[in-house]
């Protein structure tokens, strides 16, 4: 007989509308590590987390844009007028299950803080580099 692990005792991440900050912190830290930017998360029913540079800064976090994304079920790019990220561009998306926003995740929106022409000027060189066609310097 093949022994199967008990799935209920295995470590796992579960996101639900009832998720607490302890349930969300591992994902928020992973997202922040990938993008090297501050990340916030909360569930529909409970405050969540705010993480920056690998540290939890607030484990009872909620912000106005997270709350708006949960209420509307829509992604939002804006610069909040209040809260921890007041005056800083952010991008927030709801996590949708069966048509309902059960949680939301937000990130500082670096696209709102950089010069677009400068980025697109380097875009062609980046594409060539990742495709193995490194541009020749002039």
Q: Domains in the chain, please, with CATH? A: 21-112 (3.30.450.40)
Q: Are 41 and 24 in contact (CB under 8 A)?
A: yes
Neighbours of 89 (CB within 10 A): 17
Residue closest to 95 by CA, chosen among 3, 29, 28: 28
Average pLDDT, the chain: 86
Helical residues (DSSP H) of the chain, grouped into ranges: 21-35, 64-72, 116-130
- pLDDT of 29: 96
CA dihedral sign, ordered 22, 23, 24, 29: positive
Spatial separation of the C-alpha atoms in residues 27 and 42, rounded to whole Å: 11
Task: Tell me the residue length of the chain.
Answer: 138
Whole-model pTM: value is: 0.75
Dihedral (Cα; 109, 110, 111, 113), 10-degree rounding: 110
pLDDT digits (tens, 9 = 90+) for 15-70: 999 999 999 999 999 999 999 999 999 999 999 999 999 999 999 999 999 999 99
């Amino acid at each position: 007989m093949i022994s199967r692990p008990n799935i209920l005792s295995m470590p796992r991440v579960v996101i639900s509308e009832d998720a607490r900050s302890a349930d969300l912190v591992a994902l928020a830290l992973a997202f922040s590590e990938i993008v090297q930017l501050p990340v916030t998360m909360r569930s529909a029913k409970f405050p969540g987390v705010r993480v920056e540079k690998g540290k939890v800064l607030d484990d009872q976090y909620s912000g106005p844009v997270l709350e708006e994304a949960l209420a509307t079920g829509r992604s939002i790019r804006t610069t909040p007028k209040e809260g921890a990220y007041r005056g800083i561009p952010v991008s927030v998306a709801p996590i949708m299950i069966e048509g309902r926003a059960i949680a939301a995740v937000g990130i500082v929106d670096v696209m709102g803080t950089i010069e677009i022409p400068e980025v697109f000027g380097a875009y062609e060189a980046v594409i060539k580099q990742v495709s193995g066609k490194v541009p020749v310097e002039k």
